[in-house]
Structure 1
Amino acid sequence: MNLRAVTALIALVIALAGTVWLGRGNGDIQPAAPVPKQTDPSDDRPKISPTGPYPKAVVDTPLYNFGSMAVGQSLSHNFILKNEGEVPLEVQKGATTCKCTLSEMKENMVAPGESIKIELTWTPKSPQQNFGQTATIYTNDPKNQELKLQIEGTANNLIAFTGDFEGSPHWSLPTMSTTDPVSFSGKIHTKYLDEFKILGIESSKPGLTSKFRPLTAEELKEADTKSGYTIEVTADPEQFPLGGFTERLTVKTDIPHDLSPPGTEEKHDHPEGHDHKHDHEHATPEGPRTFVIQVSGNHTGPIRIVPTYGVHWNPNTMILNLGEFPAKEGKTVTLSMFVEGTEHSLEIVDQEIAPDFLEFELKKDDKFESKTKQRYELKFAVPAEMSPVSFGRTNLAKVKLQTNHPNAKEIEFRVQFISL
């Protein structure tokens, strides 16, 4: 047998062996598992006819602008959806960011030539310069399988105030420099309610009083509003210590928290796993609304304080800022205080200093000559070799004095510093 024949025989044997091995292995291979059919979200939508005829979904104006709304106020708009096609139009509500209601119809069908109302309702929860909400309507119109209906507008606070800043009114009183009371008049009004009542006003301090009256027709026109009041706030200097202050007026009204008409509560289709506890935490409060007005002022009384060069003193808040300094070195500053309204020397009847390591000294300048004023030196000191400490805006150090001056019975200095 020649070499070529031997080679052919060996190749034939290898091929037969491979065939046998492959035949045995096929019995061990498991058939592939069938791939599950993926669910198409469009399976639940209205079906489009493959041949026609077709319906025709028509909404003349798919966008509506509410204009200006009040926070908490519910407004609704009806969109008219008409079927101008040859066969019934099937409609189905899809995703929505606001309350969407379809008018009643038989099996979600709109006959040719007929129409339905689609009501969108929105209740803004916070002021928004521009808001937009959308509802999607699915149909079996091949040219309008998804109709987008939109509402938009502007949301403002229900009540407006004089000195309003982002919904937090702040009124400033004139400086109290004598024993005469000082007053400020501000307005509270709304362009969304035909009327409302102020049930009462509470003050955080006895020396701060108020009275109110309805705005006149002329004042309402001038403010471009529907209803409102003028509130006059008066502060009695005898009830306030010297220095700056901020107090509160709480205005109680008959305005309900929920301005939505019955049956117009905002609703959403919540997905599975939605946190209903979160909804409960943001539920509308019960009872009528109250509003807080911050009232600030400065009582200088018969004293005037002048800092020495480089000393940071705020006369409106009576805060002395010592800045930052090494704890090992400490810090000492001196202020000049001029006092009027008494012939007697200013005496400290009682004092309260916190923290107790803060040093304070009041000394009369006997060389100062004036028929109406007296001059005193005020010295504030943080001793050297103290441990580093910080007294900032939220934990100011203070020196509170009780004096014999008839119009400056209480003087309070506040001190800010950081020792490193």
Structure 2
Amino acid sequence: MSRFWVLLAFVAVAGSAAGWGINYTEFGHRPARMGEMIYGGEVTGQNISDFYAQAKQTKNPIVELPGGDTFDFGTMAPEEKGRHTFVIKNVGEGDLRLRLGATTCKCTLGTLDNDVLKTGEQTEVRMEWNVKTDQKTFGQSAQLLTNDPRHYAIDLKIEGRVVNELEMIPDALTFGNISSDQEATVTAKLYSYLDRPIENPTFTFSSDELNEFTDVKIEPFDLSEADGASSSAKQGFDIEITIKPGMKQGAVSQNATFSFTRPQSDSDSDDTTGDDKDGNEERRSLVVPITGKVVGSITMIPNPKLTGSKGGSYIYDFGEVPPEGPFTAKTFVVLKGSDRDNRKLSIESVEPEGVIEASFGENLVRSSMTLCPLEIKLIPGPQRIQRLGRNKEDYARIQIVSDNGESVDQLVIGVKFSMEPK
């Protein structure tokens, strides 16, 4: 039996050795050799390195734009057409091939004078555009395709500002909140891009009261680099509007009109703008809004719980007041005007008495106003008390007076709350 196992082991070893020898002979030991390849001629293992060295491209074109790829046209009027010529130059060693690509919908590229540039050569491509926008700025682009491996596509861009023939900065005037006995000043600059000079300028308002209580100064000035993008205008005017004390309280939302005349040219045979023409003069105008609010000498500083209402009064909303409170709120009454230091504040009345109280703290004097701290206090009772502001009579009320010895201003604060019994 042992002889059988010895014989079996011998046969296994001999078979493995024979299999390894056959495999090595057929596959494991073959001389390395490379046969002939045909690619544009004979390429062998010996000359393949030289072949690829010769086939490698070493002379590439390089695109250069002497004037840059972006043109700032400064200012243009709506619907005006513009054009600009970009210069393309080849500063590389290989031939530069050019092809017109995509453009945005409001500009076009002209034809190329030369679409293949040798080293050192240059050509021009013209971009044309039409200013069709209601925005203050305008920009368009067009693409030029090349065989420069570093710049396969070049974006040629134009950009600038869109202005009408007349431009006022700011384009809307506001004087904010001013006291009825306070003077306020609003300034603006007007730029004219008209081809003929402005003469006899005036500035008026659509409100007779505003015309009565304002003084307006219009002074021409010389344009300079300090005017930034507006320095390309033909004329500039400084406008100073002084609002005098005495206007009625309330919001102001009016139109201000800058009007002028200018000599009429020979080509102005028809009135296509709707402007009046008298003799040899043409009258033109520019209308801008002016807003603000005239308030009394006594106001308040709004906050999330305190809001203003019609007629100059205010509403303070306590909301739901639980049995544990809080029952007090603090806010500020503001005194403005030239005589604010002479005015005295007092609580004239509260309604309903026994449910609400109000008192002033020590004044805080600031440069343009005096802040008067006001504490409002709710007094809980045995029953639930509600003042929900569903109508004019459904508020608790605090009436405050401001007296300077000659005149009295009043301020009313409505108070909303729903207070649980204590």
TM-score category by the smaller chain?
A: 0.3 to 0.5
Q: TM-score scaled by structure 2?
A: 0.43
Q: Tell me which structure has the larger Cα radius of gyration.
A: 2
Greater share of strand: 2
Q: TM-score scaled by structure 1?
A: 0.43
